[in-house]
Amino acid sequence: MNGVTVPVNGRVQFRIRYSSDNSTWSDWSSWQDSSGNIDLEIETASRGRYLQYEIRLLGNENFESPVLTEGTTIEYYDSQNFVTFFQPVELDINTDEYLASIHITHQGLIPETSEVIYGYTQFDSVDPSDYSSIVRPDITSDRHTIMPTRFNERCLTDDRKTYSAINGGWAEGATIEVYTINASTLSYSVVDPSGYTSNNIDGTLTFYTTQDENSIIVLSIYFDSVFRILCNVTNYGPETASIDYIGLLYNIAKRIPTDNNGNIIHTPIDTRT
């Protein structure tokens, strides 16, 4: 919004709401203060096709009010999307080895109105919906690590029915195994898949019955030896993201300890003796 004259101690406030059908609207946002010009860049794709706004002009103790001298201008930008698929990687590894981690680094200029998402899948695909998405991390913007294969990962719960894996979600279609461990005896048994549902995006397991308070739930995720990475860039504003290079490294590791019969030990590290 341009051309706003605001007297000393006066205020200009605005708020917005969204709709997908121009009929049912979201709640109004809270009122936001502005010192004069309002430059508001919003990604609306996930909020709705339609936008409404309200402006509130608040005067000062001398009854002087803000004045709109040039009206209001809103600019809309069609989002631009670019998807780059990495070449498939097929690992030649031994049966006692696994893909432990994938490391992605990049260097570039990414505006606040742009989004970079890396995806990974365990087979050769050019359909973005087959990829589990990893958003460009906030703490380290140029580096991300994916752990596709995970063994004996402890799951946490508040109600003993819904359990969350410590390291979050996993790839679509990955094979998972769930084990329950007795905290006293450390004996373990595999959980029948018919007893729970899993959500790979949220990284959760939801049991149909409440689990025993002495039970520890652990998760193992198996990732295939073929994988592919994509880079999905979406520009929602007038600026365009520019990525100069993307680096991909992966780490192969030996499998976790086994017993004398060669079976994998399904006990969390922090409970082993």
Question: What pLDDT digit, counting tens, does each position of 149-195 carry?
Answer: 998 899 999 999 999 999 888 988 899 999 999 888 888 899 999 99
Give the residue from 54, 6, 65 showing the smallest Cα distance to 30: 54
Span 67-83, average pLDDT:
72
In the chain, the percentage of residues whose pLDDT exceeds 70 is 79
Domain shared by 147 and 180, yes or no: yes
**CA pair distance 163, 216, nearest whole angstrom:** 10
Does residue 269 have a pLDDT over 60?
Answer: no
**CA pair distance 116, 121, nearest whole angstrom:** 17
Q: Is residue 251 part of a domain?
A: yes
**What is the structure's pLDDT at 254?**
81
**What is the structure's pLDDT at 139?**
42
**What is the structure's pLDDT at 172?**
85
Query: CA distances (Å), 37 to each of 14, 28, 30, 54, 111, in order?
Result: 11, 21, 18, 15, 21
> In the chain, how many domains are there?
2
Angle at 104 between CA 100 and CA 106, to 5 degrees: 170
Q: What is the pTM of this model?
A: 0.62
Does residue 100 have a pLDDT over 60?
Answer: yes
Domain boundary among 68, 93, 122: 68
Domain shared by 24 and 147, yes or no: no
Span 239-257, average pLDDT:
85
Domain shared by 164 and 194, yes or no: yes
Domain shared by 101 and 213, yes or no: yes
Domain shared by 107 and 59, yes or no: no
**What is the structure's pLDDT at 257?**
67
**What is the structure's pLDDT at 71?**
58
Domain shared by 114 and 17, yes or no: no
Q: Is residue 152 part of a domain?
A: yes
Domain shared by 264 and 138, yes or no: yes
Q: How confident is the model at residue 228 (pLDDT cuts 50, 70, 90)?
A: very high
Q: How confident is the model at residue 134 (pLDDT cuts 50, 70, 90)?
A: confident
Domain boundary among 68, 93, 110: 68
Q: How confident is the model at residue 5 (pLDDT cuts 50, 70, 90)?
A: confident
**CA pair distance 130, 148, nearest whole angstrom:** 15
Q: How confident is the model at residue 268 (pLDDT cuts 50, 70, 90)?
A: low
In the chain, the percentage of residues whose pLDDT exceeds 90 is 27
What is the spatial order of strands in the sheet that 32-34 belongs to? 32-34, 11-19, 50-58
Q: Is residue 168 part of a domain?
A: yes
- Mean pLDDT, the chain, integer: 82
The torsion angles phi and psi of 129, rounded to 5 degrees, stand at -70, -15
Q: Is residue 76 part of a domain?
A: no
Q: How confident is the model at residue 207 (pLDDT cuts 50, 70, 90)?
A: very high
Span 123-148, average pLDDT:
77
Q: Is residue 157 part of a domain?
A: yes
Q: Is residue 167 part of a domain?
A: yes
Domain shared by 56 and 128, yes or no: no
Q: Is residue 93 part of a domain?
A: yes
Query: CA distances (Å), 204 to each of 13, 118, 145, in order?
Result: 41, 21, 20
Domain shared by 103 and 231, yes or no: yes
Residue 47: give the domain boundaries.
4-68
Query: Which of 37-46, 66-75, 154-163 has the lowest average pLDDT?
Result: 37-46
Does residue 49 have a pLDDT over 90?
Answer: no
**What is the structure's pLDDT at 273?**
54
Q: Is residue 257 part of a domain?
A: yes
Domain shared by 43 and 90, yes or no: no
Domain boundary among 68, 96, 121: 68
Domain shared by 30 and 90, yes or no: no
Domain shared by 63 and 93, yes or no: no
